[in-house]
Amino acid sequence: MIDHTAEKDRSEIASEEGFTGTFASFIEWLDGALVYGAVRVHDPAPNDLGRMTTTVETVTGGFSSDELLLGRLKRHWFMSSHWVRSERGGLTVYEFPEWVTSNEKEHVWLDPEDGVFERAYRARRVRVYDENGDYTEISYEAGAEFVFQEPHRDINEPDGLVIVRPAKPIDELFRAVAK
């Protein structure tokens, strides 16, 4: 196996390795991993509900490796549960409650990359081939959505499941924007 880590920048390597640690160590790790992007941590302040929270802003700086890292981070369940908003230009804002920021408990902030695509893909037609080269083609009016699951991963044996299902029409996905 060829080691390509010498060709990768620190943001790409961080994205692949993931991170587990305290809030303070996570901020330090993220700030050190970004090449042109940035992390800004605001002083704790009451949120709209009057609870003390710490606002964290991340920005990609337009650098593709930073976009990859911050994009993966934004999709991680723990980070997405603290997401507030994203703005044009790569700015993403999170709010963390005091129990997260002041706690010395470690969290998984970003799982290591597993080689599984994370994006839901949409297609108008799906073609499935058999071992003889014959295929069945299915068309979807609003497109098809692909989901990949790999519940029991063994790197030596294929065990994934690709789910193809009709996608929701775009206007349903972005109903709030359309209004």
What does R_g of the chain's alpha carbons equal in angstroms?
20
Q: Is residue 40 within 8 Å of residue 92, measured between CB atoms?
A: no
Looking at the structure, tell me whether residues 64 and 11 fall in a common domain.
Answer: yes
Looking at the structure, tell me whether residues 103 and 16 fall in a common domain.
Answer: yes
User: Phi, psi at residue 161, to the nearest 5°?
Assistant: -135, 125
Q: Does some domain include residue 115?
A: no
- Indicate yes or no: pTM above 0.85: no
* pLDDT tens-place string over residues 101-143: 998 989 888 888 765 554 555 678 888 888 888 888 888 887 7
Looking at the structure, tell me whether residues 151 and 131 fall in a common domain.
Answer: yes
pLDDT at 3: 47
Looking at the structure, tell me whether residues 68 and 145 fall in a common domain.
Answer: no
Tell me the residue range of the domain where 147 lies: 121-178
Q: Is residue 75 within 8 Å of residue 109, measured between CB atoms?
A: no
